[in-house]
Structure 1
Amino acid sequence: MTEKVVSIDLGSNSFRVLKYDCVNHRILAEHNEVVGMADGLIDTGLISKEAQNRVITAIKKSVEKIVYEPSEAVAVTTAAMRKATNSAEVLKHFKSQTGVTFNIIDGVEEARLTLLAVKYALKREKIDSSKFILLDIGGGSTEIILNDEEKHISNSFDFGIVTLTQKYLKSHDLKADLKKKKEDIKSYINSLNINTDEFTFVATAGTPTTIAAIKLGQDFFSYDKEVINGTTVDLNDLENCLKIFKNSNEEEIMKLVGRGRVEFIEVGILIYQMIFEALNKKESIVLDDGLREGVAINYCLENCKN
């Protein structure tokens, strides 16, 4: 019987590793790092050599820190690798250099696994998990999942904080783009023919957890996910964060959000704000749990009999 698993989530900007206890469903160890895998992807369609080297270094560091056999890790990668034209070659290189075999998952599977983690997290936090709308803002894609009891519907939107920032930095009209995306999301929600008032708004990933942390007086170095989990944020909290970043220098912002996130955080908040408005919601419950937890839990459910 498998009692432990190591799961890896290689996203467009972040690299997240988890060692998980399948018997007691608890985290044993974890490692998070910004690797900027999607840097330059918008322009070239490629995962750059520099980004590949950062990922390889991060994997080797995580092996030392968490102590695991790389070839046995359950590893997934998402939007950046889905978009890159050299993904097959890159993943082969990762395997030869580190022993890790990555599986590219589509938006539907990404949503299913993230939803699995969030359901477990809501139960752990003693929050009603029957009806909720889940938002997962990634680096290269944004997932919106509607969960109604045991049924769910998901949609993966082709934008994220990294890709949208890179477009914006090239004189892209961010305001107009967000307005169009808001209409697309409203249209999608309307097509589901539901009353969104009946659904709790839940958000995971770096932008919501950063806002929750700042609201609670934490920064990147004092971040405590046990305290963050279950925190409610509202539109005023988003506005306050935007003001803080506007009036802070790069070093001050880095202390709040961590290295490798400074240039993306404002766009992340504007995406979050836009989705609040598209869903006509005033507050959102924030959870730290996401894809890597879902990958681990899914593996445990399929391979552990307990």
Structure 2
Amino acid sequence: MTAAAAIDCGTNSIRLLIADADPATGRLTDLDRRMEIVRLGQGVDRTGRLAPEALDRTFAACRRYAAAMAEHGVTPERTRFVATSASRDAENRDDFTRGVRDILGITPEVISGDEEAALSFTGATGELTGRPGITPPYLVLDIGGGSTEFVLGDDAVRAARSVDIGCVRLTERHLLRDGAITDPPTPAQIAAMSADIDAALALAAERVPLDATHTLVGLAGSVTTLAAIALDLPDYDSAAIHHSRLTTERVREITTRLLAATHAERAAIPVMHPGRVDVIGAGALVLLKVLERTGAREVVVSEHDILDGILWSVVTPERGPRTSS
């Protein structure tokens, strides 16, 4: 097997996966999996542009990723770099594209929300077949920094929709006052954020039947952080989090706690990444509202997501995003 690499650059984080893939068994063997909070989408919802300091943080991470790829002998031909919500929205996304190409020798693909959703579905559902109590159709929920994707499917994607209610975007929209994040948010701010999420869920439901699922699968940092809190982990443990299950009531308890907490109280949670302290309340509220809207009793948490889907699209394009005809 030859190593391949996938990079997912979102609104809040940039992530790298270097892995060997075995198409015969459908298994990925991780060689390096890492994440950095770079907040590429800083201010994009307000200005429509990528901030210079956000680009600098992202390019610094790309240089570290380039070194890791060289260490494992990964070539540009075996690499795919996918960029999502923030770079889709930015007027100056050419500056981002040019900088990435200069560092990594590959051109980032600024993909549509629908393709982002389909790649997430591919990565998240590949290992679910045969697990007790987990049956299709699956509704995959990917809560990002700028947007949230909804994908319904079984062995192929039936419907997908991306809506602009990521945890960073919601925080900047509703929890900022005089340039600073309200700590903790006021009831009025929470109500406004909740109404924004409800409107986005109604938009998503126009294309994706949110109640037509047997299993809700939750992805990305907001969901995995909530799982780590629910498990009361002393340190972040991907193996313990992967395929754990969170009940709706437990999500409600944690969300209420996070939205009532101060910055210092959130930062003191052992598994809290410093880059998520200010945005975790918004991400938790999105998950809670989805659980309530779908009527699901629980969410299955997956550590495998769009990053795994991107890598499979490099190694075996036929395993890439598929949609029902």
Do they superpose with TM above 0.5?
yes
Given candidates 132, 143, 147, the residue that maps to 1:137 is 143
Task: Within 5 Å, give how 1:1-306 maps onto structure 2.
Answer: 3-23=2-22, 24-65=27-68, 67-68=71-72, 69=74, 71-72=76-77, 73-123=79-129, 128-170=134-176, 173-186=189-202, 188-189=204-205, 196=212, 199-219=214-234, 222-242=235-255, 244-245=257-258, 246-247=260-261, 250=264, 253=267, 255-302=270-317
Deviant stretches of 4+, over 6 Å: none
Over the residues paired in the alignment, what is the CA RMSD in angstroms? 2.6
1:195-247 superposed Cα distances (whole Å, 9 cap, x missing partner): 53x5211111111111111111225xx22212111111022322332355445
Distance 1:92 1:191, change over 3 A: closer
CA contact (8 A) 1:186 1:279 kept: no
Cα distance in 2 for partners of 1:187, 1:145 equals 14
1:240-267 superposed Cα distances (whole Å, 9 cap, x missing partner): 3235544565275264321211000011
Letter paired with 1:117: G
Give unmatched runs, 5+ long, in structure 2: 178-187, 320-325
- Number of aligned residue pairs: 300
Instruction: Measure how far apart 1:98 and its partner are.
Output: 4.1
Letter paired with 1:229: H
CA contact (8 A) 2:66 2:104 kept: no
Identical-pair percentage: 26
1:48-99 superposed Cα distances (whole Å, 9 cap, x missing partner): 1111111111112223345255734210000000000000122112222443
Higher mean Cα deviation, 150-159 or 116-125? 116-125
CA contact (8 A) 2:151 2:208 kept: no
CA contact (8 A) 1:210 1:257 kept: yes
Distance 1:212 1:299, change over 3 A: same
Higher mean Cα deviation, 68-77 or 100-109? 68-77
CA contact (8 A) 1:204 1:287 kept: yes
Cα distance in 2 for partners of 1:187, 1:295 equals 26
Q: What SS does the corresponding residue of 2:126 show, helix, strand or coil?
A: helix
CA contact (8 A) 1:186 1:278 kept: no
**TM-score, length-normalised on structure 2?**
0.83
Q: What SS does the corresponding residue of 2:128 show, helix, strand or coil?
A: helix
Q: What SS does the corresponding residue of 2:5 show, helix, strand or coil?
A: strand
Cα distance in 2 for partners of 1:124, 1:34 equals 34
Distance 1:202 1:33, change over 3 A: same
**TM-score, length-normalised on structure 1?**
0.88
Give unmatched runs, 5+ long, in structure 1: none
